[in-house]
Amino acid sequence: MKLLDVGDKAPDFSLKDKDGKVHSLAGIKSKYVVVYFYPKDDTPGCTIEANEFNQNLSEFKKLDTTIIGISGGDEKSKTKFCKEHDLNLLLLSDPDFSVCTKYGVYGEKNFMGRIFMGINRITYILDKNNKVLKVYEKVNPKGHAEEIIELIKTL
């Protein structure tokens, strides 16, 4: 698992949202893009993280920043997750983990002594040219959205 580094160009992708609409990184025209990878829809940490991003969408919009959450699963799991928690942010499905692999976030995980393959909770902040400005590893879901807002205000 090799993460992207600051200064790297983030790989483009085309992934579906909960409605089956395809979104690509190249199609986003905001000044900044936050691409956050999360392990699984509707799990405790992922719900905290998604809710915090969702609650701060207007602040991110003021900062000309697009938020994209990516995890495995399909459109159905995204639809259920968004409906259950009243989420309006853009969540995309990477069912074969190909995008997660390109971004270096898919790999071996260890939870309670069990080793398995999965998505690590990692966030990339990109500029309008999709260049990596900041990498957050080992993200704590609580307060992460606020942490990113504070960073973007300084850029």
| Spatial contact of 100 and 119, defined as CB atoms under 8 Å apart | yes
pLDDT of residue 111: 80
Cα separation, 34 vs 123, in Å, equals: 7
Domains recognised in the chain with CATH numbers: 17-154 (3.40.30.10)
Q: Tell me the average confidence (pLDDT) per consecutive run of 10 residues in the chain, 155 residues long.
A: 94 97 96 98 96 98 98 95 97 97 94 92 97 96 98 96
| Spatial contact of 82 and 91, defined as CB atoms under 8 Å apart | yes
pTM recorded for the entire structure: 0.96
Cα separation, 72 vs 16, in Å, equals: 11
Query: If you write DSSP's letter for every residue of 18-78 in order, what string do you get?
Result: TTS-EEEGGG--SSEEEEEE-S-TTSHHHHHHHHHHHHTHHHHHHTTEEEEEEESS-HHHH
Percent of the chain whose pLDDT exceeds 70:
99
pLDDT of residue 63: 98
Percent of the chain whose pLDDT exceeds 90:
95
**Residues classed as catalytic:** 46
- Neighbour tally for 121: CB within 10 Å: 21
pLDDT of residue 99: 98
pLDDT of residue 53: 98
Residue partners of 62: CB distance under 8 A and separation at least 6: none
Alpha carbons within 13 angstroms on the beta-carbon side of residue 67 total 28
